Amino acid sequence: MAQREFDVVVIGAGAPGEVVAGRLGEAGVEVAIVEERLVGGECSFYACMPSKALLRPLDVSAEARRVPGVAVGELDVDAVLARRDEIVHDLDDSSQLPWLDDRGVALVRGHARLDGERRVVVADDVLLARRAVVIATGGAATIPPVPGLAEARPWTNVEATTAKHVPGRLFVLGGGVVGVELAQAWSALGSRVTLVHNGDRLIEREEPFAGEHLAAGLRDAGVDIRFE
């Protein structure tokens, strides 16, 4: 195994990990950041950026329809998906790397595991942290314990934000921010969407009126909402 030493090793190159590594690098700290997927993480490739790219044409189209005399046609689905792909750089993170390079942050690609105090193993590399290891691995979608659901290989936010074709029907389980965004986007692009939420209102972390307005808007857009 090859062994290298750094002041700090950051595990996870999503937004939190990047910020930590970047700030430390700017301060002259010798930093390595480990990422097994894409530098930039969920927000850049499987969440905020692609979901907003899918929703933006809907927003512009709806706003234009409010102006008398403006003719608005149907959405060009292929163009919407192509623009989404452009936003996420076709899942290529090379544009993210100069930001790390400029701050002197070393990128190590692969799956990291802790192997002792301030010792991180990535494939055949051993990274020793003289001062600290920062764990910024983010999260992953939870598959509810519904019999047969896991075996059916359901979409998570990863598949739902990067799909190349509009599904004929889509069942969205969960009425949080991610669920309602994807329900709205795919419904507008032509999918028959049913959204089921285990609760009495959508986006429960927000004020009640926000969930009420959102539910009304989704129903007007053709989304079948069911509360369990």
Extended strands (E) in the chain:
2-11, 31-35, 105-109, 112-114, 119-122, 125-135, 169-173, 192-197, 224-227
pLDDT at residue 2 in the model: 87
Cα(200)–Cα(202) distance, integer angstroms? 7
Q: Are 131 and 7 contacting, i.e. CB atoms less than 8 angstroms apart?
A: yes
Mean confidence (pLDDT) of the chain: 94
* Percent of the chain topping pLDDT 70: 100
Cα(173)–Cα(228) distance, integer angstroms? 11
- Judge whether residue 1 has pLDDT over 80: no
pLDDT at residue 106 in the model: 97
Cα(228)–Cα(141) distance, integer angstroms? 20
pLDDT digits (tens, 9 = 90+) for 171-225: 999 999 999 999 999 999 999 999 999 999 999 999 999 999 999 999 999 999 9
Cα(150)–Cα(153) distance, integer angstroms? 5
pLDDT at residue 118 in the model: 96
Q: Are 108 and 33 contacting, i.e. CB atoms less than 8 angstroms apart?
A: yes
12-50 residues labelled b (16+ CB within 10 A) or e (exposed): bbbbbbbebbbebbeeebbbbbbbebbbbbbbbbbbbbb
Cα(157)–Cα(122) distance, integer angstroms? 26
Q: What is the mean pLDDT of residues 130-143?
A: 92
Q: If you ran DSSP here, which 8-state letter would residue 129 be given?
A: E
pLDDT digits (tens, 9 = 90+) for 58-83: 999 988 988 988 888 889 999 999 99
Q: What is the mean pLDDT of residues 126-131?
A: 97
Cα(17)–Cα(108) distance, integer angstroms? 13
pLDDT at residue 142 in the model: 86
